[in-house]
Amino acid sequence: MTLDRAKLADMYYRMWLIRHFESRARWLFQQDLVRGSTHTYTGEEAVAVGACAALNRDDYITSTHRGHGHCLAKGGDPRRMMAELLGKATGYCKGKGGSMHIADLDLGILGANGIVGGGIAIATGAAYSAKVRGTRQVVICFFGDGAANQGVLLEAGNMAALWKLPVIYLCEENQYAEFSPSRPFFAVERLEQRALGLGMEGIPVDGNDVLAVYETVRQAVERARAGQGPSFIVAKTYRWEGHTVGDPLTYRPAGEAEQWKTPERDPIARFGKYLVEQAGFAPAELEEMNQRAEAEIEAAVQFAMDSPEPAIATLWEDVYA
Amino acid sequence: MAVREISYRDAINEALREEMERDPTVCIFGEDVGRYGGPFQVTRGLYERFGEWRVRDTPISEEGFTGMAVGAAMTGLRPVVEIMYNDFVTLAMDQIINQAAKARYMFGGKARVPMVIRTQGGAGRGNAAQHSQSLEMWFVHIPGLIVIQPSTPYDAKGLLKSAIRNDNPVIFIEHKLLYVTTGPVPEEEYLVPIGVADIKRAGDDVTIVATSRMVHFALQAAGELEKEGIQAEVIDPRTLKPLDIDTILRSVKKTGRLVVVNEGHLTGGFTAEVAARVQREAFDWLDAPIMQVATEDVPIPYNRQLEWEAMPSVADIINAVKSVVYR
């Protein structure tokens, strides 16, 4: 593992950035300032941050409806994200996409996606494209345990394995599929067994351990760049909050979430402990990063609030290139 | 300009070959498009010329390879997908409607999705209910898509070349019974612009707007009507979306009468759309109700007589014209 101090600090900072972003997104939704529905990534920060830490700037990701974390982990601008949540002209999508459609093609973020599993074939195509264009780019396809039951995973995963495409299917097993526990919806014992049918090895990883995610994904990226084809990783994690903000969570056992929020399991607390005990960080440094991340998100909220609404004339813009 | 007579199939093959020679980012994905040369032999010779990475034989996975084309298009390729029968687009609809058509708008104008979906539709060959539909209107309904239906080899070649160079997702619907038809095609390179109708036959008494194979039915009907002294103007929109309504309106303002012919089903179909536009924008010029000739609202049956009964016929067009010229 080759992570220098600056990189470790950056990963820790990004995890806090995500946590604070989601906290403010939830609040803005409750204030009726965010419309439609919004899906928080709280508790899953180690997956996005660990995975994206193994990528270069020009590598690609496809994201999901629960996509804020992926976008921030890949380097997305929280100000433009927050402005998009508020539907403002300065948002990533000029106010036309909202929470579920944030994309930054300059950073290789090929879009969050409102369709469960919607990014799977797109990621596979981006990997095909990288191969034809002769670049060394790789693609991480984030999807959830709910999306693992979409048929397109069989179709696209099979083609990726057939043609050794540089794509990493990264299943975030957060244990819930929309408004139901996910476990009753797959017949295999462990989700990674699905990979066998695609001609890949299924690799489980502790999705709340950012360094384990990083190392697992780094090896997959290495294989992909070496022309050895796709990987199928299942990151075991937990969705702290409901499917959407406002979800009454009637389907979740009382007390379950609390067991995932302990210092031993909370991905940020776990990483913080590692940084102090094994990487020579002072607790005060960690606290400073936490506060800096919070301030950056506050500034993003302010930027979004102060930004103008899109002009009505933009309704008809960008339907066609 | 040197002109030869070639088939609709060969014209499409030439368009693909020329664009692939011209632009190394053009790739083909589809079932049996490579070694076999395409289920309708449209892509023959391309695999040998351009290799497996640019002419990709895919598994029978319409959603997978159509979605791959979306991702490839967003990242620098110009994929041309072949969906063997337009009936099979049902399997790829999420990729076309929710992904390809919307990426640009919902991402605030940053994405480009330059891809073409070639497919073929139409009845008349005994392929029955799941291989004979005309589903063009499903796509015409969706903002962000371009929909093209060529009726001649000349239009097919020139429009496909324009479609491949266009930066939007284009649905390019061929007709299974037109592949063997022939027509004049120049040796030299040319393009047919998207969104421009073609007047296939001039006339002053009635306007017939027809698409795809129905253009040929309309021209046959016009030939018969001429014997009775009725001069029909036949317009082929060629592009259904965006529709060149101006050419249609100009003709209707001259003839005062309109018959619209399309192989899709009558209800909620292309004929209704054109009728609505024309009555709204040329009401004062109309001397008769607009007549619609379309496929009956039944699945396409297998039996020859039943199939022909379900589809529009030349006689149906003649009868519709006579009813609007009151003859």
The per-residue DSSP string of A177-234 comes to: ETTEESGGG--SSSGGGGGGGGTS-EEEEETT-HHHHHHHHHHHHHHHHTT---EEEE
* Shared-domain flag, residues B133 and B215: no
* Shared-domain flag, residues B22 and B100: yes
* Shared-domain flag, residues B105 and B210: no
- A166 in contact with B, Cβ within 8 Å: no
**Which 3 state secondary structure label does DSSP give B130?**
coil
Nearest to B76 among A103, A129, A155 (CB): A129
Q: What CA–CA distance (Å, rounded) separates A134 from B262?
A: 45
Using one digit for the tens of pLDDT, what is the confidence trace for B101-149? 999 999 999 999 999 999 999 999 999 999 999 999 999 999 999 999 9
- Per-residue pLDDT at B303 exceeds 60: yes
Portion 271-290 of A in contact with B at CB < 8 A: none
- Per-residue pLDDT at A1 exceeds 70: no
Nearest to B98 among A104, A115, A131 (CB): A115
* Shared-domain flag, residues B142 and B285: no
**Within a domain: B191:** no
Domain end (from B134, B159, B186) = B186
* Shared-domain flag, residues B225 and B137: no
* Shared-domain flag, residues B10 and B151: yes
**Within a domain: B58:** yes
Which residues does chain B have within 8 Å of residue A121's beta carbon, measured at their own beta carbons? 63-68, 70-71, 95, 99
- A159 in contact with B, Cβ within 8 Å: yes
Using one digit for the tens of pLDDT, what is the confidence trace for A8-65? 999 999 999 999 999 999 999 999 999 999 999 999 999 999 999 999 999 999 999 9
- A138 in contact with B, Cβ within 8 Å: no
* Shared-domain flag, residues B153 and B180: yes
Let me know the angle formed at the C-alpha of B132 by A153 and B237, rounded to the nearest 5 degrees.
100
Which residues does chain B have within 8 Å of residue A162's beta carbon, measured at their own beta carbons? 59
Q: What is the number of other CB atoms lying within 10 angstroms of the CB of residue A213?
A: 27
Q: What is the pLDDT of residue B276?
A: 98
User: What share of chain A has pLDDT > 70, as a percent?
Assistant: 100
The parent domain of residue B99 ranges over 3-186
* Residue reference for tokens 């609505």: B276
Domain end (from B132, B165, B186) = B186
Mean pLDDT for chain A? Answer: 97
Mean pLDDT for chain B? Answer: 98
Q: Alpha helix locations (H) across chain A?
A: 5-30, 45-52, 68-73, 78-85, 120-133, 152-162, 210-225, 256-260, 267-278, 283-306
- A305 in contact with B, Cβ within 8 Å: no
Q: What is the pLDDT of residue B28?
A: 98
Q: Which residues of B touch A (CB under 8 A)?
A: 25, 27, 53-54, 58-59, 61, 63-77, 79, 94-95, 98-99, 103-114, 143-144, 146, 166-168
Which residues does chain A have within 8 Å of residue B167's beta carbon, measured at their own beta carbons? 321
CATH code, domain with B72: 3.40.50.970
- For residues A54 and A217, the answer to whether their CB atoms sit within 8 Å is yes
Distance (Å) from the alpha carbon of A142 to chain B's nearest alpha carbon: 14
**Which 3 state secondary structure label does DSSP give A85?**
helix
Q: What is the pLDDT of residue B326?
A: 86
- DSSP tag of B167: S
Nearest to A132 among B53, B59, B114 (CB): B53
Task: Write down the CATH number for the domain with range A5-25+37-302.
Answer: 3.40.50.970
Which residues does chain B have within 8 Å of residue A313's beta carbon, measured at their own beta carbons? none
* Shared-domain flag, residues B28 and B153: yes
Which residues does chain A have within 8 Å of residue B58's beta carbon, measured at their own beta carbons? 159
- What's the gap between Cα A210 and its chain centre? 13
Label residue B1 by pLDDT band (50, 70, 90).
confident
Distance (Å) from the alpha carbon of A204 to chain B's nearest alpha carbon: 25
Do A125 and B69 lie within an 8 Å CB cutoff? yes
- For residues A208 and A267, the answer to whether their CB atoms sit within 8 Å is yes
Portion 245-274 of A in contact with B at CB < 8 A: none
Q: What is the pLDDT of residue A4?
A: 96
* Shared-domain flag, residues B7 and B146: yes
Nearest to A159 among B54, B65, B104 (CB): B65
* Shared-domain flag, residues B252 and B180: no
**Within a domain: B64:** yes
**Within a domain: B291:** yes
Average pLDDT of the residues in A208-228? 98
- What's the gap between Cα B27 and its chain centre? 21
Let me know the angle formed at the C-alpha of A63 by A195 and A134, rounded to the nearest 5 degrees.
75
**Within a domain: B192:** no
Q: Which helix (H) or strand (E) holds B247?
A: helix B245-255
Q: What is the pLDDT of residue B327?
A: 78
Active site amino acids of B: 62, 131
Do B167 and A128 lie within an 8 Å CB cutoff? no
Do B109 and A101 lie within an 8 Å CB cutoff? no
Number of domains chain B is built from: 2
Nearest to B106 among A96, A152, A156 (CB): A96
- A151 in contact with B, Cβ within 8 Å: yes
Do A152 and B64 lie within an 8 Å CB cutoff? yes
* Shared-domain flag, residues B170 and B213: no
**Which 3 state secondary structure label does DSSP give A144?**
strand
User: What share of chain B has pLDDT > 90, as a percent?
Assistant: 99
Do B108 and A124 lie within an 8 Å CB cutoff? no
Domain end (from B159, B186, B213) = B186
Do A125 and B67 lie within an 8 Å CB cutoff? yes
Nearest CA in chain B to A120: B67
Q: What CA–CA distance (Å, rounded) separates B221 from B216?
A: 9
Distance (Å) from the alpha carbon of B29 to chain A's nearest alpha carbon: 11
**Which 3 state secondary structure label does DSSP give B73?**
helix
Q: What is the pLDDT of residue A2?
A: 72
Q: Where are the domains of chain A?
A: 5-25+37-302
Label residue B7 by pLDDT band (50, 70, 90).
very high
Q: Which helix (H) or strand (E) holds B200?
A: strand B198-201
* Shared-domain flag, residues B40 and B82: yes
